[in-house]
Amino acid sequence: MWGGRFAEGPDAIMEAINASIGFDQRLAAQDIAGSRAHAAMLAATGILTDKDAEAIKEGLLTVLSEIEDGTFRFSTALEDIHMNVEARLTELVGEPAKRLHTARSRNDQVATDFRLWVRDQYDAAGAALEALMKALLSQAEAGADWVMPGFTHLQTAQPVTWGHHMLAYVEMFSRDLSRLRDARARMNECPLGAAALAGTSFGIDREMTAEALGFARPCANSLDAVSDRDFALEFLSVASISAMHLSRLAEELVIWSSAQFRFVRLSDRWTTGSSIMPQKKNPDAAELLRAKIGRIFGAQVALMTVMKGLPLAYSKDMQEDKEQVFDAADNWMLSLAAMAGMVGDMEANGDALRAAAASGFSTATDLADWLVRALGLPFREAHHVTGALVAKAEAKGCDLPDLSLAEMQAEHGEITDEVFSVLGVDNSVASRTSYGGTAPTRVREQVAAWQERLA
């Protein structure tokens, strides 16, 4: 491709370190779409004849079908997907193919192809996030009034409902979706026509290529168009935050499915057995999903590091962007699908949830609130009286509702029988009707609102 300037071919090791075709062949469809748009534009602006553009188009379609049916022979000597496609096109159609590279550079091509690829990933991830949110909503709807312990510090805090806990994740994943849409809109500009870095003296129509490829507009600065990869970094950042959410839920599934918790039963489809311990059912999918986030975070740090010291415009360092993003995208997609599958299949154990919700003095706050409401105690004093009652129950080895009225009154003489009505977990959750609270009535409202938004 540049033989004019060179007397010798590259060293074999140079070829190995330089070539990206081993991984950037994943950009083949995008590369061909970009070339088609460029050729059509060159013809429309009179830079190419219609006849040449037509030959290029037909040739590119043949190249695409060869790649799709696996007969295309990728060559390391041709370095990357852009030159592999162009070289084959030249074999197929000859002279017109040699005119295709007018007013463009591989720098434009790689930036364009990669943006198109990342854009597709956003669309796939968006659909996967919606599927996961729907699986969580089904769980929330079924368990709008199943009581479970709510934790802080992983210590029993107050009873909550299963539906409320599921909806907390729906909120998180919906923000991932919204971040994804923001990022997609921001990156949807077309680098084609930057012509390596400075623009071109040919009368090209960048609006036309941008529109043909579904971009909102051409990138406004030719240097920026070819030299930034913030769109890839933002993708990794969106993926990292989403994977962090997936990892937290995965961690809960690991804990909840243990024999000590028994909050959920994961289906056989998402677990594995042990080769030695016959009783085992291990939550491997959840564990792997918790682990895969390391690669996604790692990809972001790696690419940040590649980019941070590069002078404008393109430097070959930037070729290291793709493997990081490909790997992160693959693992994010796999994790989203695995989580939707696990959540869709899992069965909550209502009895275990309820028993756990009632243990650990989970209604102590309800008792303190009652002392404020019924007896007019200042909250700090109510907190102190309740603390003493918890200590008393703990010493006796019983729960708060198991204390007698006399035992209660020993801490505060005005306590009446009525207090026992607030010590039950159902009453506790039913009373949390503030906006965003855990009461089943509130959960049902939220489920209905989400179902409508996702319909």
Please report, as ranges, the residues that interact with ligand ARG according to CB under 6 A. 20, 24, 80, 106-107, 110, 314, 316, 318-319
Residue 296 to residue 237: CA distance in whole angstroms: 9
Of 177 and 232, CB closest to ligand ARG: 232
DSSP state letters, 45-93: TTSS-HHHHHHHHHHHHHHHHHHHTT-----GGG-SHHHHHHHHHHHHH
Residue 42 to residue 209: CA distance in whole angstroms: 10
- Count the neighbouring beta carbons within 10 Å of the beta carbon of residue 398: 12
In the bound complex, what is the minimum distance in angstroms from residue 234's beta carbon to ligand ARG? Answer: 18
For residue 313, is the peptide bond before it cis, meaning its omega torsion is within 30 degrees of 0? yes
Residue 434 annotated as catalytic? no
Question: How do the residues of the chain divide into helix, strand and coil, expressed in percent and rounded to 5?
Answer: 70, 5, 25
Q: Point out the catalytic residue in the list 65, 274, 359, 421.
A: 274
Of 318 and 443, CB closest to ligand ARG: 318
Taking Cα atoms as reference points, which of 5, 1, 17, 6 lies closest to residue 320?
17
SS3 call for 422: helix
Given a contact cutoff of 8 angstroms between Cβ atoms, the answer to whether 400 and 363 are in contact is yes
Query: ∠ CA(32), CA(28), CA(17), 5° rounding?
Result: 125
Exposed/middle/buried for residue 81 (C-beta within 10 Å: 0-12, 13-18, 19+): buried
In the bound complex, what is the minimum distance in angstroms from residue 19's beta carbon to ligand ARG? Answer: 8
Residues whose CB falls within 8 Å of the CB of residue 69, separated by 6 or more in sequence, listed in order: none
Of 21 and 244, CB closest to ligand ARG: 21
Q: Is 94 left (phi over 0), alpha (psi -120 to 50) or beta?
A: left
Of 79 and 234, CB closest to ligand ARG: 79
In the bound complex, what is the minimum distance in angstroms from residue 48's beta carbon to ligand ARG? Answer: 23
In the bound complex, what is the minimum distance in angstroms from residue 313's beta carbon to ligand ARG? Answer: 10
In the bound complex, what is the minimum distance in angstroms from residue 200's beta carbon to ligand ARG? Answer: 16
Of 175 and 316, CB closest to ligand ARG: 316
In the bound complex, what is the minimum distance in angstroms from residue 106's beta carbon to ligand ARG? Answer: 4
Q: For strands 217-218 and 189-190, give the pairing.
A: parallel
Residue 153 annotated as catalytic? yes
Taking Cα atoms as reference points, which of 66, 73, 87 lies closest to residue 1?
87
Of 3 and 413, CB closest to ligand ARG: 3
Active site residues: 153, 274
